[in-house]
Amino acid sequence: MIPEGISFGSDPKYDDRSRAYSDVLRALPKIDGWKPEAEPPDLNDLAQNRLDAREVDEINAIVAVEEYVEKPARELAEYRYRLNKKRRQIIRDALAGVAGRIDEILRILGVKYEGEEQLNKHVESGEWDELKSSVKEIDMLLGGSLQRPPRWADLARHLRFGMVGDLCDIIRFDWPEVKSGITKQLYDQDEPVPVEVEDLGALAASKPTGPVATRLKWETLSAEQFERLIFALISSTKGYENPGWLMHTNAPDKGRDRSVTRVLEDPLAGVFSQPCHHPV
Residue 202 lies in a domain: no
Which residue, 174, 161, 171, 164, is CA-closest to 117?
A: 164
**C-alpha dihedral sign at 219, 223, 228, 231:** positive
Question: Which domain-ending residue is among 37, 53, 85?
Answer: 85
Collect all residues with Cβ–Cβ distance below 8 Å to 42 and sequence separation of at least 6. Answer: none
Letter string b/e over residues 178-212, b meaning 16 or more CB atoms within 10 A of that residue's CB? bbbbbbebbbeeeeeeeeeeeeeeeeeeeeeeeee
Q: Which of 85, 100, 122 is the last residue of a domain?
A: 85
pLDDT in tens, 86-140: 877 788 778 888 988 999 999 999 999 988 888 999 999 899 999 999 999 999 9
* 38 belongs to a structural domain: yes
pTM exceeding the 0.75 threshold for the entire prediction: no
Q: How many folded domains does the chain comprise?
A: 2
Rg of the chain over all Cα atoms, to the nearest angstrom:
27
Establish if 57 belongs to a structural domain: yes
Phi/psi region, residue 211 (left: phi>0; alpha: psi -120 to 50; beta: rest), is beta
Residue 49 neighbours by CB under 8 Å, 6+ apart? 41, 65, 68
Name the average pLDDT for the chain: 83
Burial class (CB in 10 A: 0-12, 13-18, 19+), 274: exposed
Is residue 189, in this structure, part of any structural domain at all? no
Residue 114 lies in a domain: no
| 253, part of any domain | yes
**Is the separation of the CB atoms in 28 and 36 below 8 Å?**
yes
Task: Choose the final residue of a domain: 27, 51, 85.
Answer: 85
pLDDT tens digit sequence for 40-95: 999 999 899 989 988 888 899 898 999 999 999 999 999 999 988 887 778 877 88
Residues 17-35: tens digit of each pLDDT:
999 999 999 999 999 999 9
Range of the domain at 47: 12-85
Side-chain-side CA neighbours of residue 52 (13 Å)? 11
Answer yes or no: is 102 within a domain: no
Residue from 41, 47, 42, 111 nearest 71 by CA: 41
Residue 44 lies in a domain: yes
Helix (H), strand (E) at residue 258:
strand 256-266
